Chains A and B, each alone.
Chain A
Amino acid sequence: MDTATFLVQCLNAVQYGLLLFLVASGLTLIFGIMGVINLAHGSFYMLGAYLAFALAPWFGDWFVTRLVVGVALAALFGYVLEWVFFSFLYERDHLQQVLLTYALILVFEELRSLAFGNDVHGVPAPEWLTGGFRLGGLMEYPWYRVFASAACLVVALALYAVVNRTRLGMMIRAGASNRDMVRGLGVDIRRLYRIVFAGGVALAALAGMVAAPLSSVYPGMGSSVLIICFVVVVIGGIGSITGALIASLLVGFVDTFGKVFFAEWSGVGVYVLMAIVLVWRPEGLMKRGF
């Protein structure tokens, strides 16, 4: 492998890892704070991708506006969904949460099929992000992928700032380490839950919208992301944002380079990584470390 190929693969790995981080961070926060295992989280990624597809004709080349509108819609959806569905799950045991959110996936998948059919749809990248830059002679790296990485990085930094530097973030961190104490101190925990959930949905949907031009939009795209995100959360440690970031990048690299070196056996790579982490540190790399 020459340097240029290696660089391209590294960029791909980072881009994939950051995308995963957006989905996994919401998942890990929702579990860390509300104690809900949400199998339907992958559906929010799918929701974002289909929003990108559905909104594309309306906004034309106003790509960033489209992203903002899509994320706002997704956050609103998350807010309402927490209200009418997830707020009833907190008192239930994990088994019932698994089944109820599993049922939710079936409902979402079928609604998706009713609304958009079962075909694979392409979503065009905006005009100003077509083309790419040259990397060591023959290789060309597309600008859109650079944009995707940059956008995810900005959001990741913003998330870090919110969690670590704001009052809301303080409540989130407190909620993740001791839910009952936060409630006891008079924080409106229901509102906090609703905000965190809406935020998680918005992050996953943003990842879906950004990924749509790269991966196209297809049925079942949510569940593959969901399971990889579970791996990320297990490796990173539940409830830890920093852990999720490290784990996402690790998974990104293992998956990307696995595809280069092992071809058809590459699907196994990330699970072997998870097995190693489980042997080494069963509680994940960062246990509630933020």
Chain B
Amino acid sequence: MASEGAGNELREDGADVRAEVGALPDIGRREAGGWLVPVAAALAIAALPLVLSPYGQDVVVRIAIYAIFALSLELLVGATGLVSLGHAAFLGIGAYVTVLASGDSGASLALLVPLAMGAAAAYAVVVGALSLRTRGVYFIMVTLAFAQMAYFVFHDTKVGGGSDGIFLYVKPVLAVGATTLLDLGQRVPFYYSVLAALVATYAFIALLLGSRFGHALAGIRVNEQRMRAAGFATTPYKLAAFTVAGALAGLAGLLLAVKDGAVNPELLSWHESGAVLLMLIFGGIGSLRGAVLGAIAFTLLKELFQSEALLGPMAGHWQLTLGLTIIAFVAALPRGLIGLGTRVRGLVSERAARAATAKSP
């Protein structure tokens, strides 16, 4: 148990670098050749509306939005080694800006997307510039505190309707002249738009991590001091990653606002920030597929624990079952679902090796 924890540690003193490089796969390299699975999965999900009930489609859309959110955080936690506990602020800002900019008469997607992502990115620049002055556990606390500040702005003031939140009266459309190209108010176009956004986010982050920029982030994660010694000004890289992650979370926020047709301050609460970190751990840190897998696992688990048909009266106390599940999961599978395969393979080969040594005289 202890050795696994130590191998996963995001240290900067270089003591465990060898173990870390071995333990955390290089995202860009490992997944570059593996396009087949994500593409096949995307095609399968694209075919789902043919067979799924509206409720089922709703769950898929929710999972896809949370997958975008989790992917954006993966850029910080998995790729750069920055554990942010305030990521929900950017989701919430994206959602609120979408609703506020739509107003009573609605607005075009061409306006809303840059606005929502821009606003989230703007707050991310400020929060990033301040919180990146700190590191480690300080960083966790500072990001949490700044997210809470945004929460209070929407909760206490009249900017966003106070604690009740506000409704999105007219869903956004994309129109050229008089022809409507895309109406997010309709179920099927919205389903495919969310799916397209997920694919685009996944591809964008995969490309980013494969680029020079992504390699610099990986270098910062493994050993920031060495990167600095090699002549990289690491703070601008980290700030850029923080801002991009914030903008992508803003996109998830926009989609969430359109899906729910309303926003409230709970979107920015630290429970959301904790939940998205949890998705990453569930899936497995250091892997884009893990982030998506984690979003699926978390949403389905929550759905399961809240389902009265399956759990009866325990459904009312889903936080208890969820909490205990998290504890068991993190204790037993620190590398997440993605690590499950390697772990099983490791056990099998270990047993085979032991059997071989036992047989040899």
Contacts and interface: CB of A to CB of B under 8 A. Distances in A.
Interface of A: 31, 35, 37, 39, 88, 91-96, 98-100, 102-107, 109-111, 113-114, 223, 227, 230-231, 233-234, 238, 264-268, 271, 274-275, 278-279, 282-283
A94 B330 contact: no
A224 to B, nearest CB: 9
A91 B6 contact: yes
B290 to A, nearest CB: 13
A257 B355 CA distance: 72
Contacts of A95: 8, 10, 77, 83, 277, 281, 285
Contact of A271 (B2, B148, B157, B285): B148
B323 interface: yes
13 contacts: A37-B140, A88-B1, A93-B9, A98-B83, A99-B277, A99-B281, A106-B319, A110-B320, A223-B270, A230-B144, A234-B138, A234-B141, A278-B131
Given A227-B145, A227-B270, A271-B146, A94 B152 contact: no
Contacts of A31: 137
Contacts of B152: 267-268, 271
B295 to A, nearest CB: 15
A271 B324 contact: no
A227 B148 contact: yes
B320 A111 contact: yes
A265 B138 contact: no
Contacts of B141: 37, 230-231, 233-234
Nearest to A265: B157
A223 B141 CA distance: 13
B207 interface: no
B75 to A, nearest CB: 15
A106 B1 contact: no
Contacts of A233: 141
B317 A114 contact: yes
Contact of A99 (B138, B158, B274): B274
Contacts of A231: 141, 145
Interface string B1-38: 11001101110000000000000000000000000000
B142 interface: yes
Task: Please provide the 7 A-B residue pairs with the shortest distance between their CB atoms, ordered closest to farther.
Answer: A267-B152, A106-B323, A103-B326, A271-B149, A110-B320, A107-B323, A282-B133
Interface string B144-176: 111011001101111000000000000000000
A106 B326 contact: yes
Contact of A267 (B137, B140, B155): B155
A39 to B, nearest CB: 8
B146 A279 contact: no
A265 B153 CA distance: 7
A93 B85 CA distance: 14
Contacts of A266: 156
Contacts of A105: 323
A96 B5 contact: yes
Interface string B53-90: 00000000000000000000000010000010100000
A100 B319 contact: no
Interface of B: 1-2, 5-6, 8-10, 77, 83, 85, 130-131, 133-134, 136-138, 140-142, 144-146, 148-149, 152-153, 155-158, 270, 274, 277-278, 281, 285, 317, 319-320, 322-324, 326-327, 330-331, 334
A47 to B, nearest CB: 16
A91 B2 contact: yes
Contact of A103 (B2, B130, B134, B324): B324
A264 B130 contact: no
Contacts of A268: 149, 152-153
Contacts of B85: 98
Nearest to B327: A103
B10 A94 contact: yes
B132 to A, nearest CB: 9
Contacts of A279: 130, 133
A265 B156 contact: yes
A179 to B, nearest CB: 14
A106 B322 contact: yes
Contacts of B155: 267
B291 to A, nearest CB: 14
A115 B317 CA distance: 12
A278 B1 CA distance: 36
Contacts of A238: 137-138
Contacts of B317: 110, 113-114
A271 B147 CA distance: 10
Contacts of B153: 265, 267-268
Nearest to A103: B326
Contacts of B156: 264-267
B327 A104 contact: yes
A224 B274 CA distance: 15
A78 B148 CA distance: 27
A37 B8 CA distance: 16
